Amino acid sequence: MILKPLTIPLLTALALTLGACSKPGEAPAPTANAAVAPAPVAVTTSVYDTVANTGKGFTVGSMMSAQPVYVLFEPQCPHCGHLWEASLALHGKVKFVWLPVAFNQGKSLAQAATLLSATDPLATMTEHEKLLLSGKGGITAIDSVSPELAQSIKTNTNLMTTLGIDSVPFVLGKNRRTGEIVSNSGAMPTPALAQLLGVD
């Protein structure tokens, strides 16, 4: 099942996207000043299943939801922080699985491991994004990353290459109304995210 073209209202909403963080060596990601929103990556059911079966993440939101929404994110990406904030209003309707990747130098790997192993991922991620968006660099990370956590984050990062994704945040899910696979690269406001996922 291939993603169908987006509707005009959704394209208009996506034009307000806050941008995305690109992997090193990739073209710069669009910003809020871009005239056109980035085109979503067209994915199939098998790609969704691959992410579901391979990715390692933490789950927040509606635990009873049968159709998880996967979000690839980088701990040092402010656009990922904006998407996190936008997603909070949908936690009563949507189960989100956040898959940390690490392609920035410095804090990313240790922060990704800290978020992935948090006993309260909702509180930890909320605090991290609050600190990141206020210019404080995010949470204090664990001192030592276990080989298992490092491998999980590497697996998530490799998924980006496998899927041809060059920037985060990257949302992959199923539209609740249509059942179609949907995706988007870049942050977006809550109404656009809700419309993408069919929960508006």
Q: Residues 128-186: pLDDT tens digits?
A: 999 999 999 999 999 999 999 999 999 999 998 888 888 999 999 999 999 999 999 99
Q: Report the pLDDT value the prediction gives residue 187, as an integer from 0 to 100.
A: 96
For 181, the enclosing helix (H) or strand (E) is: strand 181-185
Instruction: Provide the whole-model pTM.
Output: 0.82
Say which CATH class 8-197 falls into. Answer: alpha beta
| Band of pLDDT at residue 4, cut at 50, 70 and 90 | very low
Instruction: Indicate if the pLDDT at residue 86 is higher than 70.
Output: yes
Q: Helix or strand or coil: residue 102? A: coil
Q: Report the pLDDT value the prediction gives residue 27, as an integer from 0 to 100.
A: 43
Q: How much is the average pLDDT of 71-91?
A: 97
Q: Report the pLDDT value the prediction gives residue 28, as an integer from 0 to 100.
A: 41
Q: Report the pLDDT value the prediction gives residue 36, as an integer from 0 to 100.
A: 38
Instruction: Indicate if the pLDDT at residue 37 is higher than 80.
Output: no
- Pairing of β 69-73 and β 95-100: parallel
CA dist 64 → 67, 78, 94 (Å): 9, 29, 9
Provide, rounded to the nearest whole percent, the portion of the chain with pLDDT above 90. 66
Instruction: Indicate if the pLDDT at residue 49 is higher than 70.
Output: yes
Q: Which of 75, 59, 34, 74 is nearest to 160 (CA)?
A: 74
| Band of pLDDT at residue 92, cut at 50, 70 and 90 | very high
Asked if residue 146 lies in contact with residue 114, where contact means CB atoms within 8 angstroms, the answer is: no
Amino acid at 49: D
Instruction: Indicate if the pLDDT at residue 14 is higher than 70.
Output: no
Q: Would you kindly state where each structural domain of the chain is located, as residue ranges? A: 8-197
Q: Which pair of structure tokens corresponds to residue 137?
A: 């660099």
Instruction: Look at the block and give the residue holding tokens 């904006």.
Output: 82
| Band of pLDDT at residue 103, cut at 50, 70 and 90 | confident
Its sign, for the CA torsion 143, 165, 89, 19, is positive
Instruction: Indicate if the pLDDT at residue 54 is higher than 60.
Output: yes
| Band of pLDDT at residue 24, cut at 50, 70 and 90 | low
Asked if residue 23 lies in contact with residue 65, where contact means CB atoms within 8 angstroms, the answer is: no
Cα separation of 24 and 130, whole Å? 25
